[in-house]
A and B are shown apart, each in its own frame.
Chain A
Amino acid sequence: MSEPSNAPASHGTLARSRRMMLLDTSMKVLYPSILVLAMYFLLAGHNRPGGGFVGGLVVGGALALRYVSGGAQAVRSTFRLPPHLFLGLGLLMSASTAFVPVVLGGSILEHGDTTFHLPIFDKVKVTSALPFDIGVDLIVIGLILMAFAAFGEDVPDAPGAADDGSDAPSPALKIRSKP
Chain B
Amino acid sequence: MSVLLAFAAAFLFATGTWMLLQRRLSRILIGVGLVGHGSNILLLMSGGDGGVSPIIDTADPSEFADPLPQALVLTSIVITFGVTAFLLALGFRSWRITHDDVVEDDVEDRFIARRHETDQAIAEEELAERDQAVEEGRR
Q: A residues near B, CB below 8 A?
A: 47-49, 53, 143, 147, 150-151, 156, 159, 163-164, 178-179
Contact = CB atoms under 8 A, between A and B. Distances in A.
Interface string B25-44: 00000000000000000000
B50 interface: no
A129 B86 CA distance: 28
A178 B111 contact: yes
Contacts of B103: none
Contacts, number: 26
Contact of B99 (A47, A53, A151, A159): A159
Given A163-B96, A178-B108, 8 more contacts: A48-B55, A49-B55, A151-B89, A151-B92, A159-B95, A159-B96, A164-B96, A178-B111
A151 B88 contact: yes
Contacts of A47: 55
Assign chain B's interface to a size class.
Answer: 10 to 19
Interface in B79-112: 82, 85, 88-89, 92, 95-97, 99, 107-108, 111
B125 to A, nearest CB: 17
B74 A150 contact: no
Contacts of A156: 96
B46 to A, nearest CB: 21
Contact of B107 (A48, A163, A179): A179
Contact of B53 (A49, A159, A164): A49
B78 A53 contact: yes
Nearest to B88: A151
Contacts of B108: 178
Contact of A147 (B74, B85, B97, B111): B85
Contact of A178 (B74, B95, B107): B107
A48 B57 CA distance: 11
**Among A47, A143, A159, A179, residue most surrounded by chain B Cβ atoms (within 10 Å):** A179
Nearest to A179: B111
Contacts of B97: 164
Nearest to A159: B99
B89 A143 contact: no
B85 A143 contact: yes
Contacts of A143: 82, 85
